[in-house]
Structure 1
Amino acid sequence: MNEKLINKENLPKHIAIIMDGNGRWAKSKGKLRIFGHENGTKSVREVVEASAEIGIENLTLYAFSTENWKRPKLEVDTLMKLLVSSLRKELHTLVDNDIRLNAIGKLDALPEKAHQELLEVIQKTRNNKRMTLTLALSYGSREEIKNAVKQLASKVKNNLMSLDDIDDTVINKHLYTHDLPDVDLLIRTSGEHRISNFLLWQIAYAELYFTEVLWPDFKKEHLFQAIENYQNRERRFGKTSEQLN
């Protein structure tokens, strides 16, 4: 896939990716699951750099869900250590590429060392402007929406707002992603066709792209294929083709 085939005037403003298939990739090679996670970080680096290069403004990666805490302790512990080492290793890449790191989810559920490393990289990249890279960590969309509902209910109960004040904009302001635009393109690797509790509110009008490629094999040419596919679709947002034309 040639980058030149991509229309730079019609890029998705926000791409979200469910990075799936690390475990199956490792199993296919007779290795432990963590081997897949380690190799998956190489795909993260390549996709992040490629996204920034072509002008994507927002990239969100589903790195660890609230349900992932149920995995075997050894795998979870290793994933958290991998998170810390990756953040340290990739700080210079983020700085060199003018990328701001952001994170959403129940971040206080992360081990202290991982949480602290995350906050440090967020702080050190806070003024970068080229692209915002958001990591969804200990993230679940139902939990996010439930928290927003509780906040809004509390404000109504305490007369800080009325029921009539609640609209899409107000709800957006109470989500983890309050400073991000809605998702334009959602990519899921590994051949699965599920959303898996990821950005359920934010993908209301997103284009969905599923690929059989396992995440450790997902490279920039696969990203460009997804973007070209997105650009060949007609986004109607409830309208008819005739209305758009």
Structure 2
Amino acid sequence: MGLTDILYEKVEGVAKVTINRPKSLNAFRAETIKELIWAFRDAWDDNRIGAVILTGAGEKAFCVGGDQKEKGDEGGYDYNGGLGGGIGLEVENLHQTIRNIPKPVIAAVNGYAIGGGHVLHVICDLTIAADTAKFGQSGPKVGSYDAGFGSAYLARVVGEKKAREIWYLCEQYTAEESKEMGLVNKIVPASELQEEADKWARKILEKSPTAIKMLKYSFNADSANIQGISQLSMGSLAMFYNTEESEEGKNAFLEKRPVDFNKFRK
């Protein structure tokens, strides 16, 4: 397919998927998600591929989540070609594809991994971070949330207390802080990130593909129930995007002004 929002290459058994919207800090829109799903499915179907690397173009960002500028007047994202789970983005489909592809997915986090971009790296099997990377959530600040894998699975990774902190406070964390809480496997200088991700991918290629596949299935089994939670989350999010409360978060972000949610507590 013709790719506009991502870069995709396969080299000696490793597939590399790069979100290529650096001017938007690699924020995703409907087309981005569509292309990401296509790339992961292509890597899934290619028996020569043993590992996938997911990263972002440029030096500033891995991905900062959904592009607020792409949100339509009715709250959801403009999407041509399907319902997108009700919010105009096939995010749930992408999450499932990354989790279920029977090959390890390595997130090479080169900068900001915020909001929906943070969820993407959490879902990946492994995360290698540049020493300049920043991690965190932003949903409640902009009238959004991921009450599926973005929260329920995050709690499995870092523990419930820390996961609640990440979502309730929407702070940003350094690569070192993220490694301490179990979000990151390894930190390297930014200039060495892609090389290190490639090294890890090639170490995986040396292992039995069937063993790796079955191990991934086993790791996923314990949290498989989150898929149902994710479906409920995306359904509720579609309705929430049509409210004035969600609209206030989006508008405040786009207008670069302080958000005012206090009026919704009356």
Rg (Cα) greater in structure: 1
Same fold (TM over 0.5): no
TM-score (norm 2): 0.30
TM-score (norm 1): 0.32
Higher relative contact order (CA 8 A, sep 6+): 1
